[in-house]
Protein backbone atom coordinates (compact mmCIF):
# COMPACT_ATOMS: atom_id res chain seq x y z
CA UNK A 1 0.00 0.00 0.00
CA UNK A 2 1.34 3.36 -0.87
CA UNK A 3 -0.20 6.58 0.37
CA UNK A 4 -1.02 8.88 -2.52
CA UNK A 5 2.03 10.97 -3.23
CA UNK A 6 1.31 14.65 -2.91
CA UNK A 7 0.56 16.28 -6.20
CA UNK A 8 -0.42 13.10 -7.99
CA UNK A 9 -4.03 12.87 -9.09
CA UNK A 10 -5.50 9.89 -7.30
CA UNK A 11 -9.15 8.96 -7.65
CA UNK A 12 -11.24 9.87 -4.67
CA UNK A 13 -11.88 6.88 -2.40
CA UNK A 14 -15.51 5.77 -2.19
CA UNK A 15 -15.40 5.73 1.58
CA UNK A 16 -13.09 7.58 3.93
CA UNK A 17 -13.25 6.93 7.63
CA UNK A 18 -10.97 9.33 9.41
CA UNK A 19 -10.27 8.83 13.10
CA UNK A 20 -13.85 7.97 13.98
CA UNK A 21 -14.91 7.41 17.58
CA UNK A 22 -18.26 6.59 19.01
CA UNK A 23 -19.35 5.88 22.53
CA UNK A 24 -22.66 4.91 24.01
CA UNK A 25 -24.11 5.82 27.34
CA UNK A 26 -25.49 2.71 28.91
CA UNK A 27 -27.89 3.29 31.73
CA UNK A 28 -27.08 0.88 34.51
CA UNK A 29 -30.17 -1.09 35.36
CA UNK A 30 -32.06 0.83 38.00
CA UNK A 31 -35.74 0.83 38.69
CA UNK A 32 -37.09 4.29 39.27
CA UNK A 33 -40.42 4.51 40.93
CA UNK A 34 -42.76 7.24 39.91
CA UNK A 35 -42.38 8.77 43.33
CA UNK A 36 -38.64 8.86 43.00
CA UNK A 37 -38.93 10.54 39.65
CA UNK A 38 -41.33 13.10 41.00
CA UNK A 39 -39.02 13.93 43.86
CA UNK A 40 -35.90 14.21 41.72
CA UNK A 41 -37.11 15.08 38.26
CA UNK A 42 -33.72 16.31 37.08
CA UNK A 43 -31.55 13.53 38.35
CA UNK A 44 -30.30 11.35 35.55
CA UNK A 45 -30.04 7.69 36.26
CA UNK A 46 -26.51 6.40 36.73
CA UNK A 47 -24.87 5.41 33.51
CA UNK A 48 -21.76 3.86 32.10
CA UNK A 49 -19.83 4.92 29.03
CA UNK A 50 -18.98 2.31 26.45
CA UNK A 51 -16.44 3.18 23.79
CA UNK A 52 -17.54 1.23 20.77
CA UNK A 53 -15.10 2.80 18.33
CA UNK A 54 -11.80 4.39 19.27
CA UNK A 55 -10.12 6.28 16.48
CA UNK A 56 -10.90 4.01 13.56
CA UNK A 57 -9.37 5.05 10.22
CA UNK A 58 -9.59 3.38 6.83
CA UNK A 59 -10.35 4.09 3.23
CA UNK A 60 -12.23 1.98 0.76
CA UNK A 61 -11.48 2.62 -2.88
CA UNK A 62 -14.04 2.79 -5.62
CA UNK A 63 -14.83 -0.68 -6.90
CA UNK A 64 -13.21 -2.37 -3.97
CA UNK A 65 -14.62 -5.34 -2.10
CA UNK A 66 -13.67 -4.62 1.46
CA UNK A 67 -14.07 -6.95 4.41
CA UNK A 68 -14.57 -5.91 8.01
CA UNK A 69 -14.04 -8.69 10.50
CA UNK A 70 -13.86 -8.93 14.26
CA UNK A 71 -15.26 -10.83 17.18
CA UNK A 72 -18.71 -10.17 18.58
CA UNK A 73 -18.77 -6.74 20.18
CA UNK A 74 -15.67 -5.49 18.45
CA UNK A 75 -17.48 -2.52 16.89
CA UNK A 76 -18.10 -3.78 13.35
CA UNK A 77 -21.81 -3.15 13.32
CA UNK A 78 -21.41 0.16 15.09
CA UNK A 79 -18.99 1.24 12.41
CA UNK A 80 -21.45 0.25 9.71
CA UNK A 81 -24.26 2.08 11.45
CA UNK A 82 -22.13 5.20 11.72
CA UNK A 83 -21.39 4.95 8.02
CA UNK A 84 -25.06 4.45 7.27
CA UNK A 85 -25.80 7.63 9.20
CA UNK A 86 -27.91 5.89 11.80
CA UNK A 87 -25.62 6.82 14.67
CA UNK A 88 -24.03 10.19 15.11
CA UNK A 89 -20.29 9.87 15.61
CA UNK A 90 -18.56 11.60 18.51
CA UNK A 91 -15.29 12.33 16.77
CA UNK A 92 -13.66 12.13 13.36
CA UNK A 93 -15.22 12.31 9.93
CA UNK A 94 -16.81 9.94 7.47
CA UNK A 95 -17.03 10.66 3.75
CA UNK A 96 -19.08 8.60 1.37
CA UNK A 97 -19.22 9.22 -2.35
CA UNK A 98 -22.59 8.43 -3.80
CA UNK A 99 -25.68 6.65 -2.68
CA UNK A 100 -25.54 4.11 0.06
CA UNK A 101 -27.51 0.92 0.41
CA UNK A 102 -27.50 -0.94 3.67
CA UNK A 103 -28.20 -4.40 4.89
CA UNK A 104 -27.71 -4.12 8.60
CA UNK A 105 -28.20 -6.54 11.45
CA UNK A 106 -29.90 -9.22 9.46
CA UNK A 107 -31.96 -7.04 7.30
CA UNK A 108 -33.38 -3.72 6.48
CA UNK A 109 -36.31 -2.55 8.53
CA UNK A 110 -39.36 -4.60 7.82
CA UNK A 111 -42.72 -4.15 9.39
CA UNK A 112 -44.09 -7.57 10.35
CA UNK A 113 -47.68 -6.57 9.77
CA UNK A 114 -47.28 -5.41 6.20
CA UNK A 115 -47.07 -7.51 3.07
CA UNK A 116 -43.82 -7.73 1.17
CA UNK A 117 -44.87 -5.20 -1.46
CA UNK A 118 -45.39 -2.43 1.09
CA UNK A 119 -42.22 -3.26 2.93
CA UNK A 120 -40.16 -3.26 -0.23
CA UNK A 121 -41.62 0.10 -1.27
CA UNK A 122 -40.92 1.70 2.11
CA UNK A 123 -37.38 0.45 2.16
CA UNK A 124 -36.72 1.49 -1.40
CA UNK A 125 -37.98 5.00 -0.73
CA UNK A 126 -35.96 5.23 2.44
CA UNK A 127 -32.83 4.31 0.56
CA UNK A 128 -33.45 7.05 -1.93
CA UNK A 129 -35.68 5.71 -4.71
CA UNK A 130 -38.81 7.55 -5.72
CA UNK A 131 -42.02 5.68 -4.83
CA UNK A 132 -42.51 4.89 -8.53
CA UNK A 133 -39.00 3.47 -8.94
CA UNK A 134 -39.46 1.42 -5.81
CA UNK A 135 -42.73 -0.01 -7.07
CA UNK A 136 -41.19 -0.76 -10.47
CA UNK A 137 -38.41 -2.77 -8.91
CA UNK A 138 -40.64 -4.87 -6.79
CA UNK A 139 -40.82 -7.72 -9.28
CA UNK A 140 -37.06 -7.92 -9.62
CA UNK A 141 -36.66 -7.91 -5.86
CA UNK A 142 -39.16 -10.72 -5.41
CA UNK A 143 -37.67 -12.68 -8.26
CA UNK A 144 -34.19 -12.54 -6.79
CA UNK A 145 -35.48 -13.50 -3.37
CA UNK A 146 -37.47 -16.33 -4.97
CA UNK A 147 -40.55 -15.41 -3.03
CA UNK A 148 -43.05 -15.14 -5.86
CA UNK A 149 -45.47 -17.48 -4.14
CA UNK A 150 -45.48 -15.47 -0.94
CA UNK A 151 -46.00 -11.96 -2.23
CA UNK A 152 -49.25 -11.35 -0.41
CA UNK A 153 -48.16 -12.81 2.87
CA UNK A 154 -47.53 -10.52 5.80
CA UNK A 155 -43.89 -10.39 6.75
CA UNK A 156 -44.54 -11.93 10.15
CA UNK A 157 -45.58 -15.11 8.38
CA UNK A 158 -42.26 -15.31 6.56
CA UNK A 159 -39.58 -17.53 7.96
CA UNK A 160 -36.49 -15.72 9.13
CA UNK A 161 -34.56 -17.05 6.16
CA UNK A 162 -37.20 -15.68 3.79
CA UNK A 163 -37.06 -12.27 5.45
CA UNK A 164 -33.33 -12.14 5.07
CA UNK A 165 -33.59 -13.12 1.44
CA UNK A 166 -36.05 -10.34 0.82
CA UNK A 167 -33.96 -7.81 2.70
CA UNK A 168 -30.78 -8.70 0.87
CA UNK A 169 -32.65 -8.59 -2.38
CA UNK A 170 -33.89 -5.06 -1.61
CA UNK A 171 -30.45 -3.91 -0.59
CA UNK A 172 -28.86 -4.94 -3.87
CA UNK A 173 -31.66 -3.62 -6.08
CA UNK A 174 -31.52 0.06 -5.16
CA UNK A 175 -28.61 1.00 -7.44
CA UNK A 176 -26.37 2.08 -4.64
CA UNK A 177 -22.83 3.30 -5.24
CA UNK A 178 -21.67 1.87 -1.95
CA UNK A 179 -23.17 -1.22 -0.41
CA UNK A 180 -22.89 -2.00 3.29
CA UNK A 181 -23.64 -5.61 4.10
CA UNK A 182 -23.67 -7.02 7.60
CA UNK A 183 -23.61 -10.80 7.96
CA UNK A 184 -25.75 -12.02 5.13
CA UNK A 185 -24.00 -15.31 4.75
CA UNK A 186 -24.81 -16.52 8.21
CA UNK A 187 -28.44 -17.12 7.36
CA UNK A 188 -30.37 -18.50 4.48
CA UNK A 189 -30.24 -21.99 3.10
CA UNK A 190 -27.42 -23.42 1.03
CA UNK A 191 -29.03 -22.43 -2.24
CA UNK A 192 -29.38 -18.84 -1.15
CA UNK A 193 -25.87 -18.71 0.20
CA UNK A 194 -24.70 -19.87 -3.19
CA UNK A 195 -26.78 -17.14 -4.76
CA UNK A 196 -25.19 -14.55 -2.46
CA UNK A 197 -21.80 -15.87 -3.46
CA UNK A 198 -22.66 -15.47 -7.12
CA UNK A 199 -23.85 -11.93 -6.47
CA UNK A 200 -20.67 -11.10 -4.59
CA UNK A 201 -18.51 -12.39 -7.41
CA UNK A 202 -20.53 -10.41 -9.90
CA UNK A 203 -20.27 -7.26 -7.79
CA UNK A 204 -16.56 -7.70 -7.57
CA UNK A 205 -16.27 -8.11 -11.32
CA UNK A 206 -18.59 -5.17 -11.97
CA UNK A 207 -16.51 -2.93 -9.77
CA UNK A 208 -19.23 -2.33 -7.22
CA UNK A 209 -17.92 -0.89 -3.96
CA UNK A 210 -18.90 -3.23 -1.15
CA UNK A 211 -18.20 -3.31 2.56
CA UNK A 212 -18.86 -6.75 3.93
CA UNK A 213 -19.00 -7.52 7.62
CA UNK A 214 -18.67 -11.21 8.27
CA UNK A 215 -17.39 -13.97 10.50
CA UNK A 216 -16.79 -16.25 7.58
CA UNK A 217 -13.06 -16.08 6.87
CA UNK A 218 -13.61 -18.14 3.77
CA UNK A 219 -15.75 -15.35 2.36
CA UNK A 220 -13.14 -12.76 3.29
CA UNK A 221 -10.37 -14.54 1.45
CA UNK A 222 -12.62 -15.42 -1.51
CA UNK A 223 -14.20 -12.05 -2.20
CA UNK A 224 -12.30 -9.27 -0.54
CA UNK A 225 -9.56 -7.17 -2.07
CA UNK A 226 -8.62 -5.85 1.34
CA UNK A 227 -9.89 -6.28 4.85
CA UNK A 228 -9.67 -4.76 8.31
CA UNK A 229 -9.78 -6.53 11.64
CA UNK A 230 -11.45 -4.73 14.52
CA UNK A 231 -10.94 -5.57 18.15
CA UNK A 232 -12.48 -3.67 21.03
CA UNK A 233 -13.14 -0.63 18.89
CA UNK A 234 -9.74 -0.39 17.22
CA UNK A 235 -8.28 -1.54 13.94
CA UNK A 236 -5.77 -4.25 14.82
CA UNK A 237 -4.99 -5.52 11.36
CA UNK A 238 -5.44 -4.13 7.90
CA UNK A 239 -4.69 -5.04 4.33
CA UNK A 240 -4.27 -8.47 2.75
CA UNK A 241 -7.39 -10.57 3.44
CA UNK A 242 -5.36 -13.74 4.06
CA UNK A 243 -3.29 -12.06 6.75
CA UNK A 244 -6.32 -10.40 8.29
CA UNK A 245 -8.21 -13.68 8.32
CA UNK A 246 -5.30 -15.34 10.07
CA UNK A 247 -5.09 -12.56 12.66
CA UNK A 248 -8.81 -12.94 13.22
CA UNK A 249 -8.46 -16.64 13.90
CA UNK A 250 -5.53 -15.99 16.23
CA UNK A 251 -7.57 -13.42 18.05
CA UNK A 252 -10.49 -15.78 18.38
CA UNK A 253 -8.70 -18.79 19.68
CA UNK A 254 -5.66 -17.12 21.15
CA UNK A 255 -7.44 -14.95 23.65
CA UNK A 256 -10.17 -17.16 24.99
CA UNK A 257 -8.07 -19.25 27.28
CA UNK A 258 -9.78 -22.57 27.42
CA UNK A 259 -6.79 -24.29 25.89
CA UNK A 260 -4.38 -27.05 26.65
CA UNK A 261 -5.85 -28.68 29.65
CA UNK A 262 -3.40 -31.43 30.38
CA UNK A 263 -4.43 -34.90 31.33
CA UNK A 264 -8.00 -34.72 30.32
CA UNK A 265 -8.40 -38.42 29.79
CA UNK A 266 -7.53 -41.69 31.39
CA UNK A 267 -3.99 -42.82 32.11
CA UNK A 268 -2.77 -46.39 31.93
CA UNK A 269 0.71 -47.93 32.33
CA UNK A 270 2.92 -50.13 34.43
CA UNK A 271 4.94 -47.26 35.89
CA UNK A 272 8.29 -48.04 34.30
CA UNK A 273 8.20 -44.60 32.78
CA UNK A 274 6.03 -41.54 32.87
CA UNK A 275 4.99 -39.16 30.12
CA UNK A 276 5.39 -35.77 31.76
CA UNK A 277 4.65 -33.32 29.04
CA UNK A 278 3.23 -33.09 25.54
CA UNK A 279 2.70 -30.05 23.37
CA UNK A 280 2.60 -28.54 19.89
CA UNK A 281 5.27 -26.09 18.78
CA UNK A 282 6.21 -24.10 15.72
CA UNK A 283 9.52 -24.25 13.88
CA UNK A 284 11.03 -21.76 16.33
CA UNK A 285 10.20 -23.95 19.28
CA UNK A 286 7.40 -21.65 20.44
CA UNK A 287 4.55 -23.59 22.03
CA UNK A 288 1.25 -23.31 20.16
CA UNK A 289 -2.35 -23.37 21.21
CA UNK A 290 -3.61 -22.62 17.75
CA UNK A 291 -2.50 -24.53 14.70
CA UNK A 292 -2.93 -23.03 11.29
CA UNK A 293 -3.86 -25.54 8.62
CA UNK A 294 -1.00 -26.11 6.20
CA UNK A 295 1.62 -24.63 8.49
CA UNK A 296 4.60 -26.56 9.68
CA UNK A 297 4.09 -27.82 13.22
CA UNK A 298 5.79 -30.22 15.57
CA UNK A 299 4.18 -32.39 18.19
CA UNK A 300 6.49 -33.18 21.10
CA UNK A 301 6.30 -35.40 24.15
CA UNK A 302 8.71 -36.19 26.97
CA UNK A 303 8.98 -39.07 29.39
CA UNK A 304 11.30 -40.03 32.27
CA UNK A 305 12.02 -43.62 33.17
CA UNK A 306 12.26 -45.02 36.68
CA UNK A 307 13.33 -48.55 35.67
CA UNK A 308 15.74 -49.90 33.10
CA UNK A 309 13.61 -50.64 30.12
CA UNK A 310 14.19 -52.08 26.66
CA UNK A 311 12.24 -52.43 23.51
CA UNK A 312 9.86 -49.55 23.94
CA UNK A 313 7.94 -47.69 21.36
CA UNK A 314 6.76 -44.06 21.33
CA UNK A 315 3.52 -43.28 19.59
CA UNK A 316 0.81 -40.69 19.26
CA UNK A 317 -2.78 -40.68 18.07
CA UNK A 318 -4.41 -37.44 16.95
CA UNK A 319 -8.16 -37.37 17.48
CA UNK A 320 -10.67 -34.77 16.47
CA UNK A 321 -13.45 -33.42 18.65
CA UNK A 322 -15.72 -36.30 17.63
CA UNK A 323 -13.16 -38.78 19.03
CA UNK A 324 -12.30 -40.06 15.59
CA UNK A 325 -8.65 -40.87 15.20
CA UNK A 326 -7.44 -38.75 12.32
CA UNK A 327 -3.85 -39.82 12.20
CA UNK A 328 -1.42 -41.88 14.23
CA UNK A 329 2.25 -42.70 14.07
CA UNK A 330 4.88 -44.55 16.13
CA UNK A 331 8.62 -44.90 16.28
CA UNK A 332 8.21 -48.49 15.08
CA UNK A 333 6.31 -47.49 11.99
CA UNK A 334 9.00 -44.94 11.32
CA UNK A 335 11.56 -47.75 11.80
CA UNK A 336 13.38 -46.10 14.65
CA UNK A 337 15.14 -48.34 17.12
CA UNK A 338 14.76 -46.99 20.66
CA UNK A 339 17.35 -49.37 22.17
CA UNK A 340 17.57 -49.67 25.93
CA UNK A 341 16.83 -46.94 28.39
CA UNK A 342 18.35 -46.76 31.84
CA UNK A 343 16.48 -45.70 34.98
CA UNK A 344 16.56 -41.92 35.38
CA UNK A 345 16.93 -41.28 31.68
CA UNK A 346 14.65 -38.94 29.82
CA UNK A 347 13.34 -39.61 26.34
CA UNK A 348 11.68 -37.28 23.94
CA UNK A 349 9.59 -37.91 20.93
CA UNK A 350 8.50 -35.53 18.22
CA UNK A 351 6.52 -35.62 15.02
CA UNK A 352 6.96 -32.96 12.35
CA UNK A 353 4.12 -32.33 9.94
CA UNK A 354 2.18 -29.73 8.00
CA UNK A 355 -1.15 -29.40 9.76
CA UNK A 356 -3.65 -31.39 7.68
CA UNK A 357 -6.53 -31.26 10.13
CA UNK A 358 -9.88 -29.64 9.46
CA UNK A 359 -10.74 -26.67 11.69
CA UNK A 360 -11.72 -27.58 15.22
CA UNK A 361 -10.03 -28.93 18.31
CA UNK A 362 -7.47 -31.66 17.85
CA UNK A 363 -6.37 -33.92 20.70
CA UNK A 364 -3.13 -35.84 21.00
CA UNK A 365 -2.83 -39.08 22.96
CA UNK A 366 0.85 -39.84 23.48
CA UNK A 367 1.78 -43.37 24.47
CA UNK A 368 4.78 -45.47 25.44
CA UNK A 369 4.31 -49.18 24.81
CA UNK A 370 6.39 -52.33 24.80
CA UNK A 371 7.20 -53.13 21.25
CA UNK A 372 5.21 -56.03 19.85
CA UNK A 373 3.15 -56.35 23.04
CA UNK A 374 0.10 -54.55 21.70
CA UNK A 375 -1.64 -53.07 24.69
CA UNK A 376 1.06 -53.35 27.36
CA UNK A 377 1.65 -49.71 28.14
CA UNK A 378 4.54 -48.08 29.91
CA UNK A 379 2.37 -44.98 29.98
CA UNK A 380 -0.53 -43.82 27.93
CA UNK A 381 -2.17 -40.44 28.53
CA UNK A 382 -5.38 -40.07 26.71
CA UNK A 383 -6.02 -36.66 25.14
CA UNK A 384 -3.07 -35.26 27.03
CA UNK A 385 -2.46 -32.30 24.72
CA UNK A 386 -4.81 -30.33 22.54
CA UNK A 387 -4.89 -27.36 20.22
CA UNK A 388 -7.36 -25.56 18.01
CA UNK A 389 -6.93 -25.80 14.27
CA UNK A 390 -7.90 -22.84 12.15
CA UNK A 391 -8.17 -22.65 8.41
CA UNK A 392 -9.20 -20.24 5.74
CA UNK A 393 -10.55 -22.93 3.42
CA UNK A 394 -13.33 -25.40 3.84
CA UNK A 395 -12.48 -29.03 3.47
CA UNK A 396 -15.74 -30.77 4.23
CA UNK A 397 -14.00 -33.69 5.92
CA UNK A 398 -11.67 -34.26 8.80
CA UNK A 399 -8.48 -33.44 6.91
CA UNK A 400 -7.41 -31.13 4.14
CA UNK A 401 -5.80 -32.85 1.22
CA UNK A 402 -3.45 -30.84 -0.97
CA UNK A 403 -5.35 -30.55 -4.19
CA UNK A 404 -6.11 -28.50 -7.27
CA UNK A 405 -9.54 -27.96 -8.76
CA UNK A 406 -10.03 -27.69 -12.47
CA UNK A 407 -12.99 -26.75 -14.53
CA UNK A 408 -13.50 -26.53 -18.22
CA UNK A 409 -16.33 -26.25 -20.63
CA UNK A 410 -16.70 -26.77 -24.34
CA UNK A 411 -19.38 -27.36 -26.94
CA UNK A 412 -20.76 -30.86 -26.79
CA UNK A 413 -19.72 -32.82 -29.84
CA UNK A 414 -22.60 -34.37 -31.72
Give the residues lining the site for other proteins (CB under 8 A). 1-4, 12-13, 16-19, 24, 34, 37, 57-59, 81-89, 93-96, 100, 102, 104-105, 107-111, 113-114, 118, 121-123, 125-128, 130-131, 134, 154, 228-229, 231-239, 243, 247, 250-251
Q: Strand, helix or coil at 43?
A: coil
Give the separation between CA 386 and CA 364, rounded to whole angstroms.
6
Give the separation between CA 284 and CA 292, rounded to whole angstroms.
15
**In the bound complex, what is the minimum distance in angstroms from residue 351's beta carbon to other proteins?**
27
Whichever of 110 and 280 has its CB closer to other proteins, that residue is: 110
Number of Cα atoms under 13 Å in the Cβ half of residue 304: 4
Whichever of 105 and 264 has its CB closer to other proteins, that residue is: 105
**In the bound complex, what is the minimum distance in angstroms from residue 182's beta carbon to other proteins?**
10
Nearest 5°: the CA angle 326, 303, 359 is 25
**Hey, what's the torsion of the CAs at 195, 197, 201, 203, to 10 degrees?**
70
**In the bound complex, what is the minimum distance in angstroms from residue 352's beta carbon to other proteins?**
24
**In the bound complex, what is the minimum distance in angstroms from residue 340's beta carbon to other proteins?**
46
> What residues contact 105, with CB distance under 8 A and at least 6 apart?
77, 182, 183
Identify whether the C-beta of residue 68 lies closer than 8 Å to the C-beta of residue 211.
Answer: yes
Whichever of 102 and 369 has its CB closer to other proteins, that residue is: 102
Residues shown for the chain: 414
**In the bound complex, what is the minimum distance in angstroms from residue 412's beta carbon to other proteins?**
48
Whichever of 284 and 322 has its CB closer to other proteins, that residue is: 284
210 bridge partner residues: 65, 179
Whichever of 23 and 330 has its CB closer to other proteins, that residue is: 23
Whichever of 2 and 375 has its CB closer to other proteins, that residue is: 2
Nearest 5°: the CA angle 280, 402, 65 is 95
**In the bound complex, what is the minimum distance in angstroms from residue 194's beta carbon to other proteins?**
26
Amino acid sequence: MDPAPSGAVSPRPAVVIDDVSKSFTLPTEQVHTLKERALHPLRRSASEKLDALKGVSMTVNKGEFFGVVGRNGSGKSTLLKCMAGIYQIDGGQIFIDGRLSTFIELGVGFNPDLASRDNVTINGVMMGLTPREAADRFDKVIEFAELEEFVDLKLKNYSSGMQVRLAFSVAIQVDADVLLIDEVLAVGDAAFQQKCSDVFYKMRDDGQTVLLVTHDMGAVTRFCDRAALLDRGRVVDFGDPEEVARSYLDLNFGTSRVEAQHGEGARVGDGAGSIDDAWFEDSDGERLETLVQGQHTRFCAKATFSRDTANIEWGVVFENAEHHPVFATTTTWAEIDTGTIAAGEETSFSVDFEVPFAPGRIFATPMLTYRGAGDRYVDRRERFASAVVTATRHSGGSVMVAHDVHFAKSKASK
